[in-house]
Amino acid sequence: MTDKPDAAKPTVEDAPRKGRMQALAASLPRIAGKALGKRGLAEGGLVTDWTAIVGDQIAYATLPIKLAFTGRERREGTLHLRVAGAIALELQHLEPQLIERINAYLGYGAVARLRLERGALPKPVRRRLAEPKAAALAPAETAAIDLSVAGIADEALRQSLARLGNTLAAHAKKPAKR
């Protein structure tokens, strides 16, 4: 017996190199196909584009787990969804519309039924946007703003308007980003 690799099976090293960079999205199905296929989600786009397919509200409370087919044909399968909370009842009513959206995305009648499984969902990652730094005002500018609101009798209103004026003046001084 020899330890030669099978000549009929192409390996990663045999793959043609194009000599240029490729978008990750173009390579993702090839890379993640086996891993997602083992979980019953050979259609990787179903997971990656879930929010675009079903919308923000439904995507926030659901997660596709697997797509199971009964026969040899990859048609009329059951999409298993993990569902959080009481949205399960709403999804039962929206099932025909969801199936239509999913099949339109996939381009064929892959899904015929939804199976809802209650369970915890991973928490979404929330990115906090950094607040832009305002430019510092000169003492004369601050004094001019204070003078313009000095005639207001209500102390809380006067302070709020002074803060607003300072913020607007500081942002007006910032150079525009290009």
pLDDT tens string for the chain (178 positions)?
555 555 555 555 455 556 666 666 566 556 655 555 555 455 667 877 888 889 888 888 898 888 888 877 778 889 999 998 888 899 999 999 999 999 888 888 889 999 999 888 877 655 555 556 667 888 899 999 999 999 999 999 999 999 999 888 888 776 655 4
Residues in CB range of 108: below 8 A, 6 or more apart: 75
Output the pTM of the full model: 0.49
